[in-house]
Amino acid sequence: MLKRTTFFFLVIFLVFSISFGFAESIQPYADSVFMSAYISLANTRDATFVGKTYDEQASIYVTSCTLQKKDSSGWFHFCNLPSPPEVCTNTYTYGGWADYASFIGVGTYRIKATFNADGYEITRYSNERSF
């Protein structure tokens, strides 16, 4: 009986361990402030940044922006990028644009950017694109 009880608790422990480990590996993208936040990397090497919030924000802008490149082992930091200059105030909708032609060469790239809405920040990745 003792063995069965021990086995039962061991199984419960393993299940919870696996669950918590899995939860840590996934960064939830659901967001209570943003309905939508994305970066679209175009074939012309420019990027469009869009953020849409549920509530009105005093300011929405992009605080940081980096370029990532893909190699055989995955994505790695390639270089920092200037953030789009737009700061949208008293609005629900952010729109920004930047030309990164001088940063992007041959290869597969994506952009990582952090959106800020009244101090609340989320980080999102663009679509990947090969040039």
Helix (H) or strand (E) holding 96: strand 87-99
Helix (H) or strand (E) holding 6: helix 2-25
Select the residue interacting with other proteins from 12, 14, 23, 35 (CB under 8 A): 35
- Binding segment (CB under 8 A) for other proteins, from list 2-10, 22-30, 75-83, 110-118: 22-30
Nearer to other proteins, 13 or 131 (CB): 131
Tell me if 24 contacts other proteins by CB under 8 A. Answer: no
d(CA 40, CA 68): 14
**How many angstroms separate the Cα of 86 from the Cα of each of 22, 47, 59, 77, 105?**
37, 13, 10, 24, 25
Tell me if 66 contacts other proteins by CB under 8 A. Answer: no
Nearer to other proteins, 36 or 108 (CB): 36
Termini Cα distance of the chain = 64
Select the residue interacting with other proteins from 75, 92, 103, 120 (CB under 8 A): 92
Nearer to other proteins, 17 or 127 (CB): 127
d(CA 44, CA 32): 33
Binding site for other proteins (CB under 8 A): 26-32, 34-38, 40-44, 46, 48, 50, 52, 54-56, 86, 88, 91-93, 95-97, 99, 124, 126-127
